[in-house]
Structure 1
Amino acid sequence: MTRLDDATYLEHIRRESARFAQVLAACPPDARVPSCPEWDATDLWWHLAGVQDFWHHVVSTRPTVPEDYEDPQRPEERDAVRAFFDDAHRRFVTALAAADPADHAWSWSSRDADQCVGFTFRRQAHEALIHRLDAELAAGTPTPLPTELAADGVHEALDTMYGELPDWGRFDPEPLFVEYRITDVDRSVWGQLGTFTGTEPDGTEHVAIPDQHVVDDPGRPADLVVSGTADRLDGWLWHRYDDTGITVEGDPHARERAFAVLEQPID
């Protein structure tokens, strides 16, 4: 799939962050966040504030690895949390607007192509989008995800969040293919099922863990087809929506293997 342009990602960061703050400002501070049950509304506000503060640091100090970043001290008062978010967001979007997306910059991705500011444009557009939905779920006022960003989000969730392959592990593919069919934009994202094996730097071992990676259309029928609108698929992949509007058809074994991957937490 063709990604959106960076100016569009930046506009989505602005728009979704503004909606996020608007919803939380009207939400009781102790309202629980159903999609993140360990958080209340103020915790959610502080989380995105910290995320945008961190990525402001990454962009502003590029290409330095952010080893000297210090987590901000959370204020006790909710109004101060909101003020910190407003300031972090302003600094973040100002830094992005002044940056060349092609500039070398650190990212947590293991892919060389992601070591640039463009990674932050895309990843943080989806971060703001999903947390906007979290805020609306806490307030009981969910609204649909914008179609083009959500369609891009289906690919980003599958490729970046589920499909990240650290350099200390390997993916062993199997001849099982899943087509994620985005019905309202007539596009598909293909995944190949397999297993992940590797040993983390701290010695933790992972052996034959169910895994999936985005691949080009293999030119053969899918073993499993998962269909839905961009809004429903993106929210479902992020475990924000139930399976209402999601259709799953195909081989039961492929379904079991795919769901073993999709049921894993992503954050």
Structure 2
Amino acid sequence: MQTSPYALPFERYRELLDQEYAALSDLVQPTLDRPVPACPGWNGEDLVRHTAIVFLQKAETIRTGTRPSHGWPPVSVGSLPPQPLLAHCYTRLVEEFDAHPTSDPAETWVPEDQTVGFWVRRLTHETAIHRVDLEQAAGRSVRPLDPALVIDGIDEVLTVMLGRGRPDPAASGDVARLEAGGHSWDVRLSPQRATVQRDAEVDGRTAVACDPEQLFLWLWGRTAAPGVVPAAATELRSRLARAL
């Protein structure tokens, strides 16, 4: 694969994607009827079917050059049981990943990053989060995430996922500072768009400072807040919840 513009080499994203998919797949049968705490109203089957369709949609986006719309998703996928459906869609996805240079064009919502590599990174994080979802549905302890993927995931949720949200006329304009793993992110909550500054100097602003995995999972709404959270960080979490 080509040189990665992200924190991890593309080869490492693919390794972690396969690992997270295998762990997710092992959790399908025990959680089909179990409620998913982070996704109110969904059980494990709902989450598995959602994840499978995301995989398939991105495979089609890469294969055809544009996001599928009419007649999507295919009616035929609804007839497959959850486990075979997930396996089929994942196979389609990684076939497309491995058939294309990561610099090949692929439609995304980030104007400056319209590449296959965007989806390699994005779906590694997506799969990891949904693995956590099924572990929580099964009542199991969350298996630790790869430390480098966690730091990259904090950055990705702030610089990629937060950007999916709509403008917020009621935004305060304040800055939420987050610190973890020797890195920091200052997120300015402007009405039109939240912007992120990485590793800015400390200026006395109260920060959310905690273990990287706890911060990552809190930003995704998968664990409780790390202690007392400043108002700006609470606003950031609410804005993220509307974007995810």
Residues in 2 aligned to 1:53 and 1:14: alpha-carbon distance in whole angstroms: 16
- Structure 1 residues 76 and 60: CA distance shift in structure 2, 3 A: closer
Q: TM-score, normalised by structure 1?
A: 0.79
Q: Match for residue 42 of structure 2? A: 39
Aligned residues: 236
What's the C-alpha RMSD, in Å, of the aligned pairs? 2.7
Q: What's the CA shift for 1:216?
A: 3.7
Residues in 2 aligned to 1:158 and 1:7: alpha-carbon distance in whole angstroms: 23
Q: What's the CA shift for 1:66?
A: 3.2
- 1:163-189 per-position Cα deviation (integer Å, ceiling 9, x unaligned): 3477x999x994x4333111xx32222
| Residue 83, structure 1, aligned to residue 84, structure 2 | yes
Residues in 2 aligned to 1:169 and 1:31: alpha-carbon distance in whole angstroms: 35
Matches within 5 A, 1:126-141: 126-141=125-140
Contact 2:184–2:200 (Cα < 8 Å) also in 1: no
Select the residue among 207, 228, 245 that pairs with 2:210.
228
Q: What's the CA shift for 1:40?
A: 0.6
Matches within 5 A, 1:172-251: 174=173, 176-182=174-180, 185-196=181-192, 212-243=194-225, 246-247=226-227
Larger Rg: 1
Q: What's the CA shift for 1:82?
A: 1.2
Q: TM-score, normalised by structure 2?
A: 0.85
- 1:179-202 per-position Cα deviation (integer Å, ceiling 9, x unaligned): 3111xx322222223222xxxxxx
- Structure 1 residues 222 and 48: CA distance shift in structure 2, 3 A: farther
Query: What is the aligned-residue identity percentage?
Result: 27
Q: What's the CA shift for 1:247?
A: 4.8
Matches within 5 A, 1:35-184: 35-62=38-65, 64-68=66-70, 70-73=72-75, 74-75=77-78, 80-109=81-110, 111=111, 113-141=112-140, 142-164=142-164, 174=173, 176-182=174-180
- Structure 1 residues 61 and 69: CA distance shift in structure 2, 3 A: farther
Q: What's the CA shift for 1:68?
A: 4.8
Aligned partner of 1:47: which letter?
H
The gaps in structure 1 that reach 5 residues or longer are: 197-210, 250-254
Contact 1:54–1:69 (Cα < 8 Å) also in 2: no
Contact 1:224–1:248 (Cα < 8 Å) also in 2: no
Contact 1:177–1:222 (Cα < 8 Å) also in 2: no
Q: Match for residue 231 of structure 2? A: 256
- Larger helix proportion, structure 1 or 2? 2
Q: What's the CA shift for 1:75?
A: 3.3
Q: Match for residue 12 of structure 1? A: 16
Q: Match for residue 252 of structure 1? A: none
- 1:212-255 per-position Cα deviation (integer Å, ceiling 9, x unaligned): 32124444515231112221111000000012xx2557xxxxx3
Task: State the SS of the aligned residue for 1:226.
Answer: strand
The gaps in structure 2 that reach 5 residues or longer are: none
- Structure 1 residues 194 and 224: CA distance shift in structure 2, 3 A: farther
Q: Match for residue 7 of structure 2? A: 3
Contact 1:66–1:106 (Cα < 8 Å) also in 2: no
Aligned partner of 1:263: which letter?
S
